[in-house]
Every structure is written in structure tokens, then in C-alpha cells.
Chains A and B, each alone.
Chain A
Amino acid sequence: MLGASGRTQLQQLARDELPGLYALAWQLAGTDAEDLVQEALLRACRNFEQLRDPKAAGRWFRVILTNVWRDRLRKEGREPDEVSMPEEEGFSLYRTLVEEDPLPYSDTLHVDFLGAFSEHDVHEVLQRLPLRYRAPLVLRYVEGFSTQEIADLLELPLGTVLSQLHRGRQRFERAMWEYSEESGLLNEATQGSGTTPGSSRSARGPAHGPAERPATGVSS
């Protein structure tokens, strides 16, 4: 049991971190995100004396949340490093854009292509990636953990994390391209109607299906 002041401090720190924790939980666990955040908060509460510097609370909460998630996967017999997929070498989104030229009137093709993606679109693309690629990608590029920290968090060899990151980037690029074609994203962009987030697409934010659905199309 924490003292009254410790309790108040933990609650304040936790409230500040809720949006960030939920975002990370969503990327890792999809519709289980809320439950994952709750379990992480309980574990944080039990281990609050471990937090020496309140300024490091954001990082501390995220480490706990990732650990809880990893433990859950393990308990369910689902590991993020299951079987390795065939290599996805050679796909370059940059070159695909040059060759396919999906925005023929643009002088800044690559920037405009990326600019057409709302937050909702980026979430959709990430959800198409298998978990073992999405998790390292999010931990590295969204949350800013180093590759060694990710290896420690996921209890994987550094080489495995590096290779998952590499493949994850390639899959992400391919998924960006496929999503742009399937969603008609670029048609909207060229019709000059702007790129209102989620305009013609269903809902904003995380109204997607389960996180661990098969990665449609990315392996073809």
C-alpha cells in the first residue's frame, strides 16, 4: 500500500500518461488496449517505489506496459517472434512512386504522397503488419526506444530485433503503397478536396478490427 502522498503522485503521473499509454497499448494489443493499460497501471502501482525520478515516469510506464503485454503473449503461447517470414527484399516505395507516378500533376510527388495519409490512414497501415514487425517498429520509431532497449524489453537477441525492424520497414512501405491503391486515398488528394482525416472512410481513431488479423496482401 502506498502512502497518501505516494498515491496522489502516482495518480497524477498516470493521468498525464494515459493518452500515450493507450496509444502504445492500441498498437500492441488492438481492442485489448484498455485492459492492457489497466493491468499496467496495477503493476505500476505495486512497483511505484522503483520509480526514482518522476520525470522518467513516461518511459517507466511504457516499459511496464510492454512487459505486461509480453507476459500476456507468452501466457497465451503467442510470441511476437514466431516463424520467420520469407524475405521481403527489394521493394522500394520511393522507386515505386517514381515508376507508377500516382500524382502526375505533383512536382513534389513523394512529399505529397505521404501528406495524403491522415493519422487514421497510418493506423490502418500499421494494423496490416504482423505483430512481430509492428511491435518493434512502434517501439523504435513512435516511442523512441533504442534497438538494444527493444531487445531487452522483448527478450529477443539484438540481431532478431534488427532483422524484424528491417523487414518491418519494408512491409510498412509496401503496405503504404497497397493501402493508397485500395483506399482511393490519392484520388481524394488529386481532387483537391483536401485530406480531412477519415473524411470518406468510416470512423476516426481506433475503430478497427482485432489487432492480430492476418496481414492481407502484404506477403503476395
Chain B
Amino acid sequence: MTDQIRCRDAVHQLWGYLDGALTTGNQEALESHLSWCLRCCGELEFARELRGLLQRRASPPLPDDVADRLERFVDHLDDPSGPPNPTVDHRS
């Protein structure tokens, strides 16, 4: 027999649930709540989508000019003829 929780508490724990980070007791209480509460099931689905959005679309692309400079920086990493200096602009 698990304690009954309110919607507010259920929503509070959804991301933790998706992370598999809840204690057994909290997880059982949440799952029992989700078994009858349609709205919180909707919240759970949405939290899952939102999490996916963060994973898929949060990384900005590497601009070409920055990529060129960083590639050249890597070329000179640990260069015996002299280490690269991060404060110097490597454009030329």
C-alpha cells in the first residue's frame, strides 16, 4: 500500500522518474498516481518530448571560420617548434 500523492507532487517528480532517479517508494507512489490520472500521464509524455528536444536541438553548429581556426590550433598542439598561444588570433 503506497501513500496517495497529489498532482502537484506527481508533476514535480516526472523528470526524476524519466531519469530513473526516484526512490522505490516515490516511484511506486507516482506510478500508482499515473494509473488513474490522465492529466499527469499527459504531463509525463510531454516531459519526455521536452527532454528529447533538449537532447536533439540544444547543440549549436560549429561555424566554418571557428572550425578552421580550431583545426589549425589542433595542428599545432604540442608542436616542438613552439606551443600555440590561446590568446593569439590564428587567422593569418
List residues of A whose CB falls within 8 A of some B CB. 1-2, 7, 10-11, 14-15, 18-20, 22-24, 26-27, 33-35, 37-39, 41-42, 45, 90, 92-95, 110-111, 114, 117-119, 122-123, 126, 137-138, 141-142, 147, 165-166, 169, 172-173, 176, 204-206
Contact = CB atoms under 8 A, between A and B. Distances in A.
B25 interface: no
Nearest to B83: A42
B71 A111 contact: no
B86 A35 contact: yes
* B interface majority secondary structure: helix
A172 B51 CA distance: 11
Given A92-B11, A93-B46, A38 B84 contact: yes
A18 B55 contact: no
Contacts of B70: 18, 22, 34, 37-38, 41
B77 A19 contact: no
A137 B54 contact: yes
B22 to A, nearest CB: 12
Given A11-B74, A15-B71, A169-B15, A142 B54 contact: yes
Contacts of A114: 49-50, 53
A55 to B, nearest CB: 19
Given A1-B78, A45-B77, A117-B53, A142 B58 contact: yes
A123 B74 contact: no
Contacts of A2: 78
A145 to B, nearest CB: 12
Q: Kindly name the residue among B42, B59, B80 whose own CB sees the greatest number of chain A CB atoms within 10 A.
A: B59
Sort A-B residue pairs by CB-CB distance and give the 8 closest, nearest first: A23-B59, A38-B86, A122-B57, A141-B54, A206-B60, A19-B62, A94-B46, A119-B57
B21 interface: yes
Interface in B21-76: 21, 39, 42-43, 45-47, 49-51, 53-55, 57-63, 66-67, 69-71, 73-75
20 contacts: A11-B75, A11-B77, A15-B71, A18-B71, A19-B61, A19-B67, A23-B60, A23-B62, A26-B60, A38-B84, A41-B70, A42-B83, A45-B77, A94-B42, A94-B47, A110-B42, A119-B59, A119-B61, A165-B15, A204-B61
Nearest to B69: A34
Contacts of A172: 50, 54
Contacts of A93: 46, 50
